[in-house]
Amino acid sequence: MNSPANITDPLVLFMPSGKRGRFPIGTPVIDAARQLGVYVESVCGGRATCGRCQIEVQEGNFAKHKIISSNDHISPKGPKEERYERVRGLAEGRRLSCSATIQGDLVVDIPQDTVINAQVVRKAATDRVIERNPAVQLCFVEVDQPDMHKPLGDLDRLKLMLERDWGWEDLLVSQHIIPQVQQILRKGEWGVTAAIHRDLETSRPTMIGLWPGLKNEAYGIACDIGSTTIAMHLVSLLSGRIVASSGTSNPQIRFGEDLMSRVSYVMMNPDGREAMTKAVREAVNTLIGKVCEEGGVDRHDILDAVFVANPIMHHLFLGIDPTELGQAPFALAVSGAVHTWASEIDLDVNEGARIYLLPCIAGHVGADAAAATLSEGPYRQDKMMLLVDVGTNAEIILGNGARVVAASSPTGPAFEGAEISSGQRAAPGAIERVRIDPETLEPKYHVIGVEKWSDEEGFEEAAKATGVTGICGSAIIEVVAEMYLAGIISEDGVIDGALAARSPRIFQNGRTFSYLLRDGEPRITVTQNDIRAIQLAKAALYAGIKLLMEKQGVETVDMIRFAGAFGTFIDPKYAMVLGLIPDCDLSEVKAVGNAAGTGALMALLNRDHRREIEQEVSRIEKIETALEPHFQQLFIDAMAMPNKVDPFPKLSEQVKLPPRKVLAEDGAGGDGAPRRRSREERAARRRG
Amino acid sequence: MNSPANITDPLVLFMPSGKRGRFPIGTPVIDAARQLGVYVESVCGGRATCGRCQIEVQEGNFAKHKIISSNDHISPKGPKEERYERVRGLAEGRRLSCSATIQGDLVVDIPQDTVINAQVVRKAATDRVIERNPAVQLCFVEVDQPDMHKPLGDLDRLKLMLERDWGWEDLLVSQHIIPQVQQILRKGEWGVTAAIHRDLETSRPTMIGLWPGLKNEAYGIACDIGSTTIAMHLVSLLSGRIVASSGTSNPQIRFGEDLMSRVSYVMMNPDGREAMTKAVREAVNTLIGKVCEEGGVDRHDILDAVFVANPIMHHLFLGIDPTELGQAPFALAVSGAVHTWASEIDLDVNEGARIYLLPCIAGHVGADAAAATLSEGPYRQDKMMLLVDVGTNAEIILGNGARVVAASSPTGPAFEGAEISSGQRAAPGAIERVRIDPETLEPKYHVIGVEKWSDEEGFEEAAKATGVTGICGSAIIEVVAEMYLAGIISEDGVIDGALAARSPRIFQNGRTFSYLLRDGEPRITVTQNDIRAIQLAKAALYAGIKLLMEKQGVETVDMIRFAGAFGTFIDPKYAMVLGLIPDCDLSEVKAVGNAAGTGALMALLNRDHRREIEQEVSRIEKIETALEPHFQQLFIDAMAMPNKVDPFPKLSEQVKLPPRKVLAEDGAGGDGAPRRRSREERAARRRG
């Protein structure tokens, strides 16, 4: 090792981590990085053959850091590095940190995209740079040949080298490797690459793979198993690069559309659990094939996999009967993180590949919610963050560094377009945006696959290709919100029948009124029942959120994050107008896409994130909404738009909310006088 | 926990360990035992339901220990213990140490044979008492029911209880248990028994089995896979009792009689390795069925298994191609201990059962030799012990607490009766004992299955049932030794043709002479070739031993242990007369039977023995006889009887060795003058 650093030694700053330290002249850059805890990949162990340890010197005067960094402050390329450059190629400015030594002050950039195999280059599916510390590491060693005087077995000599060169003590060896050891050693002419898995510090490291010669690539998958969709990233464990991302529908749909119908299927059919486990594992295997084909990767090079899922998908994937999750007390078979082997759950990847499932938070708040929490990290900051993932069930996480609470709320399928008379899934022909003129009550809308708005010239012509077939989830939020803003529906969600006199768009439909969004084939209307369905869904969500806000003792939240597909397409403003979410500065409301998938990716690329979320989940307080006596009142209050009792001052600054009018279910009467209860009144009600 | 012990507290002595200590009045006896490191089994965790923690108070005045022990010094039976006695029965004098508390000075006996299930009572196959500390422990716990407010999974709550009640931290869980957890917990009404495996202290403990309610029995197998025979003990892991012992022939024999022919088979046949692996695993499974039937045990109650074998059997059992072991440098694929799962090697026992294979010492000195070393423990004492296991290969271990050396020597199959003209395996009709009158040169012999010696009246009548069919291994040693003692063969092993004149028993047979042991059908003779074969075998063995003695720098050994079947049947005196083994006090030469099997048993019942032999094997110095230039000379010297250069003073005290005569191969000439080289002459030769 190097001698201890001296105050006169060169100062080296590593980016992007910002870690810095002084090192004696002649220290290999990789050693300096590691002493500072900066993760630099290396497979060959300093032989300048794998090219994984590339760095770039940032030249210039970094006054803030008092560093003048220059390529003159790093050793020139030696023969080994030159050979690598000649044989494998080295991009302009790139150096191998195992060979380059420190000769003066340096600012060193660790590129996060070290390209080894050209064919895997692809745009990253997530922009986030995840600091890497994967659970699997590739380690090249040169093993002594057998010696009759020291009759240690071939495997035992290999283990000695892995201890000497890489520090792996007390190594376990995956059983499937043992019969192959001798052949691999001889094929590699005593040079082999071992894949070592170490996740928990308290577990012994395990050799899970072995290849002759230098094996310079290993992959992992991060997978989110949803009730409807399975999404997967294929990632290089050595560079962190996302090689391919893809999705497929969950074939369990044929056993039941929603989660509870799948649990029922298991309860009613003796082989139901087995059939559904088989179906989801097969789908995952097929999807692995798809991402591997897309990325030009051999599936047997996949050595690690992280899965997240809601509790029922999690249990079925692991082969666990989910019946207990279908009834109180909603007991999970296992809530903690699960570590297992790919072969134990029939995944067709490398024989020694490992599997990690994030912990579940509660019987209704699964590993997917845990992964979204890891991704968005409410606990990593001081602001009060609300994280919601809306599906048939909404998972709600609320908290900050001090405390995090979680719940789920049964929103039902209305937000997904089910139970809505003209509802449909997002597809060409579906209305996705709606505006209603408050004066004329005339709508205009935007259709998926058609560039023009419906009031623009040539729209009908353009829409001929797709037709206008229904309303998708995001537009349902918008049309109801716009109807409310235009005064067509009251605070309580009743369509104002009196307006039928002003516009033919409002028309009687049995005992209630409807709104005609588009005349034609098909006729697209919003019925009183549609509005009731949306109200029930949004009230369930909001009541759950309010419950958590009360637990936290806060009247407002600082930021809102929408996870999942639903959040990506809705306009936060309309969500707030309808009162899905509490009042908040609109600029602090963001959709974060598949946060569960991103969390899975983080856990794949850095095992510290596994410990982080395991610890966090054990700290999260779970609220069971069904057991809270107050939930019912919150739910009733949340039926109103935006809410019966809660003011939305920040929203009001940006959106003109209509005056309050109260109508009977048949759309008659109402005084039209807006009324806001005082803070005191509200507090008094809540105490009651 | 109890308060710290005081000098006035009662003194408790545990037998047979002899450990003692003072404990406050009221301390449960089991707690006292554990504080002293005395292993007392308990499954129920102090609920007085498993009955595993039985002890007996030894009454009387133990003056040596200054203890007056009495049943008045232990608490009377409480209601829980009385219930156990009523329901399950408790033998006279027995107490449950979890319930009984210390009330005064005690001598407490921990019986090694706690009988729980009457049907498993059987005579122990080995007399040795092995102190127990098995790698698998059964632990009963009562688990909290699910609680919506604390939504920990069922498995997670189970793990909490195993940590709280039994101290198992950081528990891993075998994947196959996870899907069953909920059902087992509910079936057991939240009382379950977990099997916890912990072998190495550096490994995390693993839950390998789970049963509803109290599971009060678990078994293990200890198995020695020999080239010819597979031997197995079935043992209770909870009491240490051997429930059944049995053996079967190794079906690999159909691929080749000896080890090298099996290696050849693998090299010549593409599926050879697989076929042999399958054959031995099937045989082991069948044998497991046999011992389980004999012991009335369900094979799925087997939770741990220890295997020992020679290197080639070891490799084939693990599915490793043994080709490398057939050629220099005889590289083992793995020499260290192997820890794996029964399911990995297709054993049909409990799904979570563990497998342990002892380490191999060298390419020709396997886990069986390691097990014999563990059993006999040369390293545990000061005397110089020679441990030999004679088969087609002889394994030789020589050493004491200071140093142990090991080698193997290719004795060939002569000792097993192969290559001998009238040789046969030990079976009814085989001659097993021989005496020759030095005056008349007439033999008498004893035949397996016949009570009388051949010179007794009525022998021929009695022998009619079996016939007299050949000479078995032990008798070959005896007949050659007796021929030598009677002067029929010379020191160099030549049959003295001149004696043909004195007795018709010596007759010409081509260019050499033979000895007629029995006239009849068949005619049983000992030919010059037979004697040469024995000489070659014994010279190989002795030369190997001498090499190790030279490495140790000793001229004599203090004790000799014969392991294996061969050693059980031969008479040590004749082995020494022939010079198979070095001179030694005959009372210090003992056969120890299947020491490898006993070593496997020790490793099964006490994981400390695994660490002991792993450490010892890493210390043992391995000598490759083929690489020792001196071996050839030692071999040539050892062709003579007992030896060309080594005196046998201790043997000479008990056996009158014949005067030395030197004969040519054709049996002619010789001066008959015995000649002993001086110590100096011998040393000079050796230096040459």
How large is the ipTM? 0.88
Q: How far apart are the first and last CA of chain B?
A: 71
- Together in a domain, A25 and A174: no
- Domain presence at residue A632: yes
Q: What mean pLDDT comes out for the span B512-532?
A: 94
Are the beta carbons of B407 and B544 closer than 8 angstroms?
Answer: yes
The pLDDT assigned to B669 comes to 55
Q: What is the pLDDT of residue B426?
A: 81
Same domain, B329 and B263: yes
Residue whose entry in the numeric block shows the structure tokens 């610890």? A615
pLDDT at position A675 over 50: no
Asked if the structure places residue A3 within a domain, the reply is no
Give the pLDDT score at A473.
82
Q: Please identify among residues 619-678 of chain A the ones whose CB lies closer than 8 Å to any CB of chain B.
A: 622, 624, 626-627
End-to-end Cα spacing for chain A: 70
% of chain A with per-residue pLDDT over 70: 93
Amino acid at B415: F
Does B186 lie in the same domain as B317?
A: yes
SS3 for B289? helix
Q: Examine residue A452 and state whether it is found in any structural domain, yes or no.
A: yes
Of B149, B153, B335, the CB nearest to A335: B153
Chain A contact probe: residue of B143, B157, B178 with most A CBs at under 10 A: B178
On the question of pLDDT at A4 being above 80, the answer is no
Judged by phi (left if over 0) then psi (alpha if -120 to 50, else beta), residue A91 lies in beta
Residue of A nearest to B148 (CA): A329
* DSSP tag of B606: B
Decide: residue B377, CB within 10 A, 0-12 exposed, 13-18 middle, 19+ buried: buried
Contact (CB, 8 A) for B154 and A331: yes
- The answer to whether residue A449 is domain-embedded is yes
Sorting pLDDT into bands at 50, 70 and 90, what band is B517?
very high
- 8 Å CB contact of A159 and B361: no
Mutation for A interface: B159, B332, B623, most A CBs within 10 A: B332
Q: What's the domain count of chain A? A: 4
pLDDT surpassing 70 at residue A670: no
- The two structure tokens encoding residue A303: 């050595």
The pLDDT assigned to B205 comes to: 95
Q: Could you say which of A183, A203, A627 has the minimum Cβ distance to residue B148?
A: A627
Measured CA to CA, the distance from residue B90 to residue B112 in angstroms comes to 15
User: Which residues lie closer than 8 Å to B295 by C-beta, 6 or more apart?
Assistant: B119, B120, B122, B219, B234, B243, B244
Among the listed residues B474, B515, B594, the one whose alpha carbon sits nearest the alpha carbon of residue B229: B594
Instruction: Look at A38-47, A311-320, B504-513 and tell me which has the smallest mean pLDDT.
Output: A38-47
Angle at the Cα of B357 (from B355 to B361), degrees rounded to 5? 170
CB contacts < 8 A, A to B, total: 161
How much is the pLDDT for A665? 65
Give dist(CA B454, CA B447) in Å, integer. 8
What are the tokens at A280?
Answer: 């989801």
B600 within a domain of the structure (yes/no): no
Is residue A510, in this structure, part of any structural domain at all? yes
Least confident of A421-430, A629-638, B117-126, B453-462: B117-126
Q: What is the dihedral of CA A531, A534, A540, A541, to 10 degrees?
A: -140
- Cβ atoms < 10 Å from Cβ of B455: 12
A524 lies in the same domain as A586: no
What pLDDT is stored for residue A638 in this prediction?
96
Residue B288 pLDDT > 50: yes
B119 — pLDDT class (breaks 50, 70, 90): very low
Sign of CA dihedral B294, B299, B301, B303: positive
pLDDT digits (tens, 9 = 90+) for A223-271: 999 988 999 999 999 988 899 999 999 999 889 878 888 999 999 999 9
B548 conformational bin, left if phi > 0, alpha if psi -120 to 50, beta if neither: alpha
* Residue of chain A whose alpha carbon sits nearest to that of B180: A320
B285 or A114: whose pLDDT is higher?
B285
- Check: CB of residue B162 under 8 Å from CB of residue B173: no
Show which of residues 166-185 on chain B sit within 8 Å of chain A, judged by CB atoms.
170, 172-173, 175-176, 178-179, 181-183
Average pLDDT over residues A564-576: 86
pLDDT of residue B665: 64
Least confidently predicted of A424-433, B316-325, B393-402 = A424-433
User: Cis link prior to A428 (omega < 30° from 0)?
Assistant: no
Of the pLDDT bands very low, low, confident and very high (cuts 50, 70, 90), residue B666 is low
C-alpha dist (Å) from residue B286 to A196, B229, B295, B347: 37, 13, 14, 10
Element (H, E) at B147: none
Segment A644-650 mean pLDDT? 93
pLDDT average, residue stretch B193-214: 95
Interface contact flag, A148 B204, Cβ < 8 Å: no
CATH code of the domain containing B634: 3.30.420
Structural domain ending residue among the three candidates A479, A513, A532: A532
Residue B41 has a pLDDT of: 87
Do B156 and B305 belong to one domain?
Answer: yes
Identify the domain boundary among B93, B111, B129. Answer: B111
pLDDT band at B125 (very low <50, low <70, confident <90, very high): very low
Q: How far is B30 from chain A (nearest CA, A)?
A: 30
Q: Report the pLDDT value the prediction gives residue A114, as an integer from 0 to 100.
A: 52
* Residues of chain A contacting residue B179, judged by C-beta atoms under 8 Å apart: 318-321, 333
The encoded tokens of residue B375 equal 């059993």
Q: How far apart are CA B205 and CA B174, in angstroms?
A: 10
Shortest CA distance to A540 belongs to which of A419, A647, A423, A632? A632
Range of the domain at A401: 372-411+538-687
The answer to whether B573 touches B280, Cβ cutoff 8 Å, is no
pLDDT digits (tens, 9 = 90+) for A522-558: 999 999 999 999 999 999 999 999 999 999 999 999 9
pLDDT of residue A520: 87
Cβ B179–A340 below 8 Å, yes or no?
Answer: no
Q: Which helix (H) or strand (E) holds A382?
A: none
Contacts of B203 in chain A (CB under 8 A): 172, 204
In one-letter notation, the amino acid at residue A576 is M
Regarding whether B246 and B264 lie in a shared domain, the answer is yes
Q: What is the Cα A658 distance to its own chain's centre?
A: 37
Q: Per the structure block, which two tokens stand in for A313? A: 């998908």
Task: Please report the pLDDT score of residue B396 as a whole number.
Answer: 97
Angle at B210 between CA B209 and CA B216, to 5 degrees: 95
Peptide bond into A151 cis (omega under 30): no
Q: Say yes or no to pLDDT of B683 above 90.
A: no
pLDDT band at A482 (very low <50, low <70, confident <90, very high): very high
Q: What CATH number does the domain containing A49 carry?
A: 3.10.20.30
Chain B interface mutation, best of A175, A354, A551, highest count of B Cβ atoms under 10 Å? A175
Beta strand pairing call for B524-527 and B512-518: antiparallel
d(CA B389, CA B231): 16
Residue B579 C-alpha from the chain's centroid: 25
Give B329 to chain A, closest Cα distance, Å: 5
Q: Is the pLDDT of residue A664 over 80?
A: no
Nearest to A324 by CA among B210, B179, B161: B179
The predicted structure's pLDDT at residue B415: 83
One domain for residues B565 and B509: no
Are B589 and B496 in a shared domain? Answer: no
Q: What is the Cβ-side half-sphere exposure of residue B145, based on CA atoms within 13 angstroms?
A: 7
A326 touches chain B (CB under 8 A): no
CA distance A280 to A286: 10
d(CA B386, CA B544): 11
Per CB-CB distance under 8 Å, the chain A contacts of B622 are 149-151
pLDDT value of position A122: 33
DSSP state of B678: -
- Side-chain half-sphere exposure of B515, counting CA atoms within 13 A: 30
**Alpha-carbon separation of residue B538 from A576, B59, B391, B624 (angstroms):** 96, 55, 12, 18
Residue after which a domain boundary falls, among A532, A551, A585: A532
Phi, psi of A189 (to 5 degrees): 50, 45
Say which residue the tokens 């792993």 belong to: B614
Per-residue pLDDT tens over the stretch B396-455: 999 999 999 999 998 887 887 778 899 888 889 999 999 999 999 999 999 999 999 999
B320 — contact with chain A (CB < 8 Å)?
Answer: yes
Q: Which helix (H) or strand (E) holds A120?
A: none
Q: Residue A668 pLDDT > 70, yes or no?
A: no
Give a yes or no: residue B599 inside a domain.
no
Residue A365: inside a domain: no
Which pLDDT belongs to residue A680?
47
Give the pairing of strands A20-22 and A67-69.
Answer: unpaired
A128 or A678: which carries more pLDDT confidence?
A128
Task: Confirm if B616 and B380 have CB atoms less than 8 A apart.
Answer: no
B549 and B650 assigned to the same domain:
yes
Digit-coded pLDDT (tens) for A342-380: 999 999 999 999 999 999 999 999 999 999 999 999 999
Asked if the model's pLDDT at residue A673 lies above 60, the reply is no
**What is the overall mean pLDDT for chain B?**
90
Amino acid occupying residue B224: D
The label of the residue with tokens 């009743």 reads A494
**Three-state SS sequence of A58-105:** CCEEEHHHCEEECHHHECCCCHHHHHHHHHHCCCCCEEECCCCEECCC
Which pLDDT does position A593 carry in this prediction? 87
Residue among B550, B557, B611, B598 at smallest CA distance from B581: B557
Substitution target in A156, A170, A200 with the highest count of B β-carbons within 10 Å is: A156
Residues B504 and B564 grouped into a single domain: no
Are A422 and A405 within one domain? no
* Chain segment A161-199, per-residue pLDDT in tens: 999 999 999 999 999 999 999 999 999 999 999 999 999
* Mean pLDDT across A44-64: 92
Q: What is the edge-to-edge ordering of all strands in the sheet holding A106-109?
A: A20-22, A11-15, A106-109, A54-57, A94-96
What rounded mean pLDDT belongs to chain A?
90
Q: Are the CB atoms for A90 and A102 separated by under 8 Å?
A: no
- Closest chain B residue by Cα to residue A144: B331
pLDDT at B17: 83
Q: Which amino acid is at A128?
A: R
Q: Within 10 A of A653 (CB to CB), how many other CB atoms are there?
A: 11
Confidence of residue B639 (pLDDT cuts 50, 70, 90): very high
Question: Average pLDDT, stretch A69-83?
Answer: 95
pLDDT band at B354 (very low <50, low <70, confident <90, very high): very high
pLDDT confidence of A207, banded at 50, 70, 90?
A: very high
Tell whether A293 and A279 lie within a shared domain: yes
CA distance A643 to chain B (A): 28
Q: Which of A593, A631, A601, A626 is nearest to A363 (CA)?
A: A626
Q: How far is B682 from chain A (nearest CA, A)?
A: 28
- What is B203-253 written as a DSSP string? SPPEEEEEEES-----EEEEEEE-SSEEEEEEEETTT--EEEEEEEE-GGG
Q: How far is CA A477 from CA A442, A592, B14, B583, B657, in A?
A: 17, 19, 78, 100, 111
- Note the pLDDT of residue B673: 42
Chain A touched by B363 (CB under 8 Å): yes
Instruction: Judge whether residue B664 has pLDDT over 90.
Output: no
Of the candidates B39, B66, B65, the residue with the CA atom closest to the CA atom of residue B52:
B39
CA-nearest of A600, A616, A526, A483 to A222 is A600
Alpha carbons A471 and A659: distance in angstroms, whole number: 27
* Amino acid at site B394: A
Q: Which residue has the tokens 């946060």?
A: A595
